[in-house]
Structure 1
Amino acid sequence: MGSLFSSFYSSLKLASIFLEEALSDEKNGSGLENYQSVFVIGLRSYGGRAMYLDFVKQVWEKLKEQPFSSSLSSEEKVSPYAAYLHDAVLLYALSVKEMLKEGKDICDGKALVTILKGYNKTRLYGVTGLVYIDESGERCMDYSVYNLQKAGNSSRFIPVLNYDGNRKTISPTEEITNISWLDNYPPKDRPDCGFYNEQCKTSVTNVPVIVLIAVLLVTTSGAASTVVFLKIQKGKLEKQVDDIWWKINYDDIIVLGDQKGILVALKYIDNQTDAWVKNQSVLHEVQLMRELRHENLVTFFGICTEAPNICIVTQYCKKGSLQDVLRNSDIELDWIFKLSFAYDIANGMLFIHSSPLNSHGNLKPSNCLVDNGMQVKLCGFGLWEFKYGKKCQVITEKTTKYDELYWTAPELLRLEEYPFQGTQKGDVYSFAIIMKELINNNEDGPFHDLDQEAEEIINRIKDPSTHFPLRPSLSGEKCSERISSMVRACWDENPERRPTFSSVKRLLREASPEGHVSILDNMVNKLEKYANRLEEVVEERTNQLMAEKRKTDKLLSSLLPSFIGEQLIAGKSVEPESFDSVTICFSDIVGFTNLCSLSSPLQVVSLLNDLYSLFDNITKTYDVYKVETIGDAYMVASGLPIRNGIKHVEEIATLSLHFLSAMIPFKIGHMPGEKLKLRIGLNTGPVVAGVVGITMPRYCLFGDTVNMASRMESTSLPFRIHVSMTTANALQSIGGYNLQGRGTIKVKGKGHQQTFWLKGKSGFNVPLPEFSDNMEGNLQGPLQILCGSAKPSTRSALL
């Protein structure tokens, strides 16, 4: 679908973009001729550009109205996706219309998709063109090829070819004859010599001549290039002495060593009188140092050549060296830190071994600096001639510090004079000694457990006659067997058996938990795990919260209407509401007081729970609202809180018949031989409904209609439904209900009222209690008492 968006957008927008550029070029003098050979391929526009612009204008006007209140400043800000949304709604409406015509459920998504596929009864043309979905569910699109042509006094892109996506055909328009071709003729479908020059054969006799000319040209060009290259190199060598990019003014370095706003480290040269800066070999070393850039190497800034302040200026690392970190008793390094340090060293050494510098030659903890991010950066390599005035070190000199040779490989120690630059295998040996210090967290060097002088230890290391060369002690308890084996391989007596830093780096990564060797990577990995776990916990807690909320909402909806509960939760006040016509039903148990006197309180509660649970299940199938229960009285209403026209009379009447039918099989748990005698009263009229109270608020009904319904119930008889005149008139207008006139009775507070019995309903095929006309005559005495007596105080409070 994304391609359709871009295609439609191009057909509507790109043409105007090309046209604007053409007009702009015309003002600049280049004219529209440059764009006459441009063809735009886009969706076929059935209504033209004017139709789309008119649609965009209508969308913009609608968005400014309620409820959108859009802040779009102009029509150009309207998204082109609006056209697709418009056509999608039209297509959906067409499908729904067909489903309704065929009698299908419009909520059935699968049936809707089936209708869409291959539908060809009505061709729907929207803003984006023909809207048609084929049998496979793909939209068939019609495309056009547009060409810039004159149209009256202006120029615009006009379709010259149309592609029918349904028929898979291409048809030209009348404007195809107006295309301005180069040389006034369309290009050929195939070049004269073919696309690969296969149609034009070169003469055999001309081949040697062509080859000879090509060889001469190549030879001449090569010779000229060589001469130019040699002259350039000579010029570079001549200017190299005067190249002072690496020279730093000592006055630019403040006391704290902050060079041009950068915190730097200064390494002073011992021989301040004899500077070797102008030697070609030194300049070559400086050039090499300048080109070395890596995350695990300190940055080389340059050299200060002003005596007595001759020094090397490099990057400053705030944490000091690895030696400082190991000697700091306040820092307890865990295995992740140690492994990260080792990996940084191996990574930096691998870069040096791959560079023109070739090797480090002075790898030891004091030359492994640690920055603020706890990342190791190597230093102390290169510029040997500048620092010492020579390229080799003589071990037999009196100034030799033997404790600084612990990290030098045995094969180099055996030489009376070895290069400061060292060897790659010698660097691997040095790394092994550093690894031992990292593993054991040694503070006093790799051989701190030997009670010998440094010179004696060095002599033992370089002694080739011993069967067991001296090496630092390595504890297998503080690292894995793989790491121990790697360290032993790195300080092997035979240099050829030592691994490369590429192998060391790979092994360190494999030994790291989940392959994360960087401290930052480990921290990020732990944070990701924590975040994922946190998301799971939040999702779990949210689901629990939503489950509890659903329970609370369900409980609240059983106490109050749902929309009223939402208003109360939102802290809004609920205004009383008037209803013009509702029907109210009251029911109670005849002889309930005597029944209570013969039962325990728990038995009474159990009886009412069984009865009202039965009634609650019945009310679920009707459009009624249960108002409340008071003692043995059960009150329901229809037509509120949601109005349902005149339907409320029929709902309450049928519900009352259902209540009576349910009394036939109902058994009293503790008195199975007794029958529960239910009487019901109905009345129809206007009421006012509202929420009363703050603590345990109730949705109550007020008005004379409620009072009359209560009187209908109190003057009713067992197993009878007593209805008022208003309810009877409504039922008669509906039809289908069996009503019997009771006559005129005296109702307290209402005088004489004509009332009716509801005996049944046409089509309501459920058993009902027997309707006996003798019952009322037998209860005339009690009836007069009921008519003239007030109901219990609870009912009076309700009214």
Structure 2
Amino acid sequence: MITIGLQAPWNISYPFSLLRMGSAMQIAMDKINSNPALSGNFTFDFVYMDTDCNAKISLRSFIEQVMEKNISALFGPPCPEEAEVTGLIASTWNIPMFGYVSQTPKMDNLLVYDTYIKVVPPIKRVGEILVKTLEYFGWKYVGMIGGGADTNTWDSVDALWKSVEQQLRAKVTVTAGIKFDTSDLELLQRNLQIISKVSRVVVVLANAEDSTALMLEALKLGLMNGEYVFLLVQQFEVSAKVDNLWKSSVTETNQTMLKAFDMVFVVAQKSYEGYDYYDFFDQAYERLKEAPFYSNLSSVKEVSSYAAYLHDAVLLYAMGLKEAFKSGKDIRHGREILQKLRDRTSIRFYGASGLVHFDEYGERNLDYSVYDLQQTEKIIKFVSVLDFDSHSKMIKPTSRFSNVVWLNGKVPSDNPICGFNNELCEWLDNEISLLVLLVALPLFGVAAVILITLLTLQKIRLQTRLDESNWWLIDYSDITILREPKGTQTLSVSTTPSKCGSGGSQSMLSSNSYSTKDAIYTTVGLFQGNEVGIKYLKNQILIDIKKPSIIAEFNMLREIKHENLVQFFGVCIDPPNICMVMQYCKKGSLRDVLGNSEIDLDWMFKLSFAYDIVNGMEYLHKSSLKSHGNLKPSTCLVDSRLQIKLSGFGLWEFKNGTKHRLIPLENPKYEEMYWTAPEFLREIYYPFNGTQKGDVYSFAIIMRELMYNTEVGPYHDVHLEPKEICDERLIPLIKACWSENPDDRPPFTNIRRQLRNACPESHTNILDNMVNKLEKYANHLEEVVDERTCQLMVEKNRADKLLSSMYIADQLMSGKSVEPRSYDMVTIFFSDIVGFTSMCSISSAFEVVTLLNDLYSLFDEIIKLYDVYKVETIGDAYMVASGLPISNGNLHAEEISTMALHFLSAIKRFKIRHLPNEKLALRIGINSGPVVAGVVGNTMPRYCLFGDTVNTASRMESNSLPLKIHISQSTADILLKTGKFEMEERGEIEMKAKPAMLMNLWHIFVLDGSQCPMGKGTQKTFWLTGKSGYTFPPTGLECDSSPKSGTDSILSKQEKTKGISTTEGDRRAIQRPPAMAKSPEMHTLTVPDI
């Protein structure tokens, strides 16, 4: 059984009488004893004593409570004199003592009263919020009035008065200070008249009843005319009882009371959404009517506000007792229990008086609000219009601030234009003064011109120096707004296979691969010729912009210049355009890139992004800022060169008014904490700029997002080994970066070195990589051009001869226009070189050009023997048609087929100059059907073919095999009629917009090997194997050489890549679609639990 003692006067005239608040102890006891989580399996009871605010009685009562009742803690006494005496004995006997009313400054001395703790907030908070409120409205002159009656008052207004007056005089001019007995109405009227002559803004320090009476007298004196403002301080009133101010009078109507509060703001505790304050006071009122108090209060309004503090003090003691017991401490040891209570990380809860939480000084952190009487949903009540954060010392407007009604349509001035007694304008009524003025004006004008000239010159000199010191200050009118944010555009990236380190792919960019539209994620403007991004700061109250710590932050950002950090230009402080001006990055942020499912980032992109982040963070850690503190994908911006630039660092005090981030208990934004180090999440608040070890943890989470930006992983359909995808050295690196122990996380210098070892090309910018390669190719091609300049005339003659042999060229050269023409039946030929990409990777540009020139010269000699038309060549692709531009009846299919067989015969004897042991293998496709042909363009005219026949021929080639001729059904039908060609049925393949046909030999298998039948869009196809009794004449350009092992190796690689078996006994082709390919085994990273 734990017994606690309560001391308070029984006399109901005291606002902290037992008859007004004693039931709060009972309510708290019921909660504790019914909830083991609060009581810690202890049973609580209490005893109370009537001390009548007498120090001797309080001391005697305390000794009796300890000796006879064996109490373990004391709550009270409420009066200052008795609290000071009893507190000394409590400290001597090591008994915890809880103050729920007393405000004596002596007891703030923790060296003397080391077992004493206050549940009420410190009185200095009132002065702080008053100063911030006056600064917010721009008032510099203020008067003070207040006091108390003999009995119906606070415990003492002297300490509060001295604290408020001292803080106000340090910031503003206090024109008057009148403290008096509020029970004397005549004195009250006289004092109001006096203060109205010297002050327009009046701070009222009185309790609720006296404050209401004072406002009614002010209304009678005509002070509620819109020229005066009254700030009523209700220090201990919880938000639920603020409305009692205008409802407390029984002699005045509601209409009169509303007029009396027209120009009144009330300073009281902040209200917290979700907590029912009214329910507590209703319970306290009902319990006061019962034993042992049997109070005769007439309404719940008469319940003391101190009841809420008494209730919370009891709950606080129970929690501290439980924490001490859990830690193995002596529960009778008062200092041990108070040490637990002052630990700001152990106890934090919402009580009847609001949030119960203590700061590092052992004082209760309780926020305040400025209330205004407004009508909301047909209910007239006080609503919060300004909120004061006691931790950051910042005051910010609420959503109801715009509803404040000023009787004169504007905020009242704190000082009249002509003074309170017209003393500033009296000289205008004096004729002599007017005459002197008229005489003095010309002289004054001449002197003014001279003075202005001198001041202008001085101003120019001073302005030059001022501009240098205020380099960060930007006039908003100097910024030209270009675009407003309208959402993010779609980005896309295309890649082609390559290698980075041990594996991966290299990005290839074109005009269509990355959207040309910028990602407009913020307001974009033009400042001093630079395209800048503008970040507006909402509800930012700029009070002391030239504070040394803020100026130091500006100067630090001025010194920071790095290619991977955004450039800081300055800030605008002209309301409402309070904003920061930074370098604008056109491609959005890394979060946009990772969140876009249409973007497929390859390994080179990811490592390049990671290396950019590491470079920026390494520079930032070596700079005067020391750390970032907000590293996440949304602060990693992407510029037009696809380079990461870090943002979101520095200027914490300018942006937030404080250097520490407070994790809110209500509606915390968890999605903003994914990248926060675990050591910070365990704190209630932590520095905005974080630590270097915390930045390393954030980088590890970003690196994990880069590697696995999809649920199944980015490499589930890539036929590569895990070590070819991701270097195995990156896995322990990332795990070390997100280590639970900050000391185990490596610095960014080591991270950069390990990244370079894992992928040597990652440290180079993506575009720089491409530019370097293009420069090498350009230099080499210049040498090729120089070598072939001597052959220019010879090649020109050959070109003219070739053009003269072309029918279309003849028409163009003669100046005739070539009209588009439709052909009912032609045959199209496509071919490409198998393994050409792999061959290019091991060959120089000159060798590739030589190879293609030798090969196409061979083909050009062959097509001279047939009635065919060479359409074009693109890279290793070769396109030929027959039956156009001059029709040849039904010979087109036979001509193309014979030519294709001739190509295969010639390619087997073709010899590569720089790879004599390797053999080329062609893949050929043929189709017959209708086309439309015509010349496109004027500067470089091209004879182009259009129609589905061309697409089908290309599909025949892409589905063919090395050294095979793949023909369509339409071509096979024509060749069958001739009876000259040998063909084998291959089966059916998928075709766009083709009707389903019978499939004999072609199947598609899913990953598990089950057979899946073909649906619509298939066509029967054939292999062209030969022509009866036909021998191909040599061209003179082929090189006889027997096939080497290199040919077999190339064919083997290509067949393995396509997954096709071509044995003589079984000519089936088994193909697994890329989207259904089996994923290689991959290393998996898992974010550690926090």
TM-score range, shorter chain: 0.3 to 0.5
Please give the TM-score of this superposition, normalised by the length of structure 1: 0.33
Q: By percentage of residues, which structure has more helix?
A: 1
Please say which structure displays the higher CA radius of gyration.
1
Normalising by structure 2, report the TM-score. Answer: 0.24
